[in-house]
Chains A and B, each alone.
Chain A
Amino acid sequence: MENIYKPFITHVEEVRWETADTKTFKLVFDDPRLADEFTFKAGQFAEYSVFGEGESTFCIASSPTRKGYIECSFKVVGKVTNALKKLDKGDKVGFRGPYGNSFPIEEMVGKNLIFVGGGIGLAPLRSLIWNCLDLRDQFKDITVLAGARSVGDLVYKNELALWAERSDMKLVQTVDPGGETADWKGEVGFVPTILDKMNPSSENAIAITCGPPIMIKFVLQNLQKAGFAPEQIITTLENRMKCGLGKCGRCNIGGTYVCIDGPVFSAAQLNELPNDF
C-alpha cells in the first residue's frame, strides 16, 4: 500500500522574488517520469516541505497546460516559509499533491470571465488564467482585475506586463490609496471599489476571486449588487492545514473540509457554511 504521507522530491529550477516577502519557485520533479506524467487541475493545492522544518500548504500557481514543471508562490510568514525563503536553485523541496477540488473550468466554457485578485490571492487565479489563455478560443471575454496594497506588493509583475500587452484580454491593475508610486499608470483604489467602477456585466459571466478575507467579502457584495447570482461567483479559501487529505480534522468550516471538499467554492456554497473561519 502506498504511503499517502510520503512526498515526492522536486528541485528548484527557478527562483523569483515577487515582492519583499513573496517568492515564487519553479519546481521540477526529480523523477523524470513524474516530471513528464504529472497532471493536476487549476485550483488544486499541495503540501510543500522543507525536510526538517515541516510542510506548508500553497496552491499550484502554474497552469496544468504547461507540462514538465509546477510553480508555487508563497508569503514568508512562519516556520516553513522562512525555511523555504532560504532555498535556491538546485535545492530540494518535498511535494505532496495535488489535493483538493478544482475550478469548474467546464462551466466556464463559452462564458465571459472576470478574475478579481488581491495580493497573493492572485496565485491560484494565475493558474486558471493561464489555463484559460492557453485554451483561449473556448472562452469569451477575459478580464483580470489585479490589486495589492502598494506597487511593491503586486505579484507576477512581469506577467501583468504581458497581460497588459495582450489584445485578447483586458487587464486592470490597482493599488490601495497611498500605495501608488509617482510613475504609477494603473488605478488607485481598493479592489472592490475599482470592481464597482468597472461595472462588469453578469450576463453569461462567471467571476472568480481570491484575496484577503476582507477583500473577498466586499467583492462578493459588489458582484451580487452588479447582478451576479451566487452560483456565478467562484472563490478559493484557505485554512490551517496539515494532512491536506481530510483526516487530521483541522481545516473544517462546519462539516466541510477545505482540503477535500474545497478549496474552491462558489458563493452559493459559502453561504451555506457557518461562521467558522
Chain B
Amino acid sequence: MNYYRISAGYKELIEALLKTGASIIAPVLYNKVSMFRKISSADEVLMPEEYINTVRSAKEKFFPVTEPLVKFKIEGKDIQVRDIEPDEAQTIIVGLRPCDAAAFNTLDLLFSYEYKDKFYIKRRENTTIISVACSKCDEACFCTSFGIMPDSLEGSDIQLKTDQDGKYYAETVTEKGKELASKLEGLKASETEIKSASIYSEVKKKIRQPLETDKIKSWLDNNFDSNFWDEYSARCLGCASCAFLCPTCHCFDIVDEMHYNKGFRRKNWDACQFPVFTKHSSGHNPRDIQSKRYRQRVMHKFKYFSERFNKPLCTGCGRCVRACPVNLDIYEVASATVKY
C-alpha cells in the first residue's frame, strides 16, 4: 500500500501526527521569520500554500546552530570530561520541500563517512520526513539542475501531494514512512490509484533552465586560477548568509567555553566566507581575499563534494539567492563559468 487518502485536511493531519506522541517539527512563522520549529498545535503551522520555502532550512534540527559536544569540569589538576547525548526523541518533520528532503541525503554522506557524527546521525535516525510537493516555485528555485523535481521523492519517507481534485494524498516511500502511515488516524487506505495533479509538471517547466553540471564541473577542473573569480565575486560582501541558510552547507567550528571551572566544547556553524576561516595562527591565510573564498564556495558545491561523494553539494533550493543582499546568484555564476 503506497497511497493513502487524507480524509480530512492538512491541519487535521498535523493533529493526527501530534497525537502519535512524537516531536512534530513544521514550518512556522516565528517572530517574522519562517523556520522549522517544534509545534504543539496545528494552528501554529504555515500551510503549504503560504510558503515556497522557509527562510531557514531544517538542517538545524540535526546540525544545530550551536551545540555542546562534551562538557568538562576542572578541579585543580583534575579534569572530568563527560559525554553529551543528543536528544533521541522520535521526531517527525512535516512540510519539508523535496529539495530540502534531498539535501538531508546529501548531508548524511558527510556526517557518516569515515567517522560517524552521532549528534547528527542519532537525530536523523529517529526522524521521519514528510515532504510536501511544490505547487509553486519562484525565480530563485533551480532544483531541476540537480535532478530534483517539485515532486521528487528522494529523502522523503512520506510525501504529500494534491490529486486532480486538489485534495491531499500521501505516498509512502520508505519502510519508515509505511510504518508511520499505518499509525495515523486521518489517513484512509485507498484501493483506487490516485491520479497526481498535473500541477507538479507545470511547476517544473517554470523552474530556471537546468544547469549543465557536468560541463560546469569540467570547467572548474581546469580554471582554478582564472580571472573569472575576481570578476564574478567582486560584489560579494562575505556575509555568509548563503552558507548559513543553505540546507547542505556543513562547515563548523569547535570552540571551548568556560564558566568559572565548568565548560563545554561546542560545535558552531562556520562558513568558508568568513575572512578568518582558514587563517593560520602564524598569520598566513591561504584564502586571504574574498574572491578566493567565493571560489572555494563554488568549487566545494559543484566539484569537490561530488568528487568525493558522487553528489553535488547543492539542491537548488534558492535560499542563498533570496537572502543575498547583493544578489550574487550562484545559478548565474555557475552558468557563466562555461561561457567565460
Residues of A within 8 A of B (CB): 1-7, 9, 49, 51-55, 77-79, 81, 90-92, 94, 238-240, 242-243, 245-250, 252-255, 260, 274-277
Contact = CB atoms under 8 A, between A and B. Distances in A.
Contacts of B303: 255
A53 B79 CA distance: 13
A132 B308 CA distance: 34
12 contacts: A55-B256, A91-B77, A240-B277, A246-B113, A248-B252, A249-B250, A249-B270, A250-B277, A255-B303, A255-B304, A276-B224, A277-B286
B331 to A, nearest CB: 22
Contacts of B270: 242, 248-250
Contacts of B118: 1-4
A249 B272 contact: yes
Contacts of B296: 252, 276
A54 B256 contact: yes
Contacts of A5: 69-70, 254, 265, 267
Interface string B55-72: 000000000000001101
Contacts of B122: 1
Contacts of A276: 224, 286-287, 292, 296
B299 interface: yes
B280 interface: yes
Nearest to B225: A275
Interface in B279-303: 279-282, 286-287, 292, 296, 299-300, 303
B270 to A, nearest CB: 7
A143 B315 CA distance: 53
Interface in B30-50: none
Interface in B184-233: 224-225
Interface string B256-285: 101000010101001010000111111000
Interface residues on B, range: 35 or more
B278 A240 contact: yes
B81 interface: yes
Interface of B: 69-70, 72, 74, 77-79, 81, 83-84, 110-111, 113-118, 121-122, 224-225, 250-256, 258, 263, 265, 267, 270, 272, 277-282, 286-287, 292, 296, 299-300, 303-304, 307-308
Contacts of A260: 114
B114 A1 contact: no
**10 nearest A-B pairs in the assembled complex, by CB-CB distance:** A78-B281, A249-B251, A255-B304, A1-B118, A77-B281, A52-B258, A274-B224, A5-B69, A245-B115, A4-B115
B79 A51 contact: yes
A84 to B, nearest CB: 12
B329 to A, nearest CB: 22
Contacts of A94: 81
Main secondary structure on A side of the interface with B: loop
Q: Among A9, A242, A260, A277, which residue has the most Cβ atoms of chain B within 10 A?
A: A242
Contact of B254 (A3, A239, A242): A242
Contacts of B307: 255
Nearest to B266: A5
Contact of A254 (B74, B115, B267, B304): B304
Contacts of B281: 77-79, 81
Nearest to A11: B77
A252 B79 contact: no
B279 A254 contact: no
Contacts of B252: 242-243, 247-249
Contact of A53 (B253, B256, B278): B256
B278 A250 contact: yes
A6 B250 contact: no
Contacts of B69: 3, 5-6
Nearest to A52: B258
Given A6-B70, A9-B81, A92-B78, A246 B114 contact: yes
B254 A246 contact: no
A127 to B, nearest CB: 22
A6 B81 contact: yes
B250 A54 contact: no
A92 B74 CA distance: 10
A246 B115 CA distance: 8
Contacts of B224: 254, 274-276
Contacts of A77: 281-282
Contacts of A55: 254, 256
A252 B115 contact: no
Contact of B253 (A3, A90, A91, A248): A248
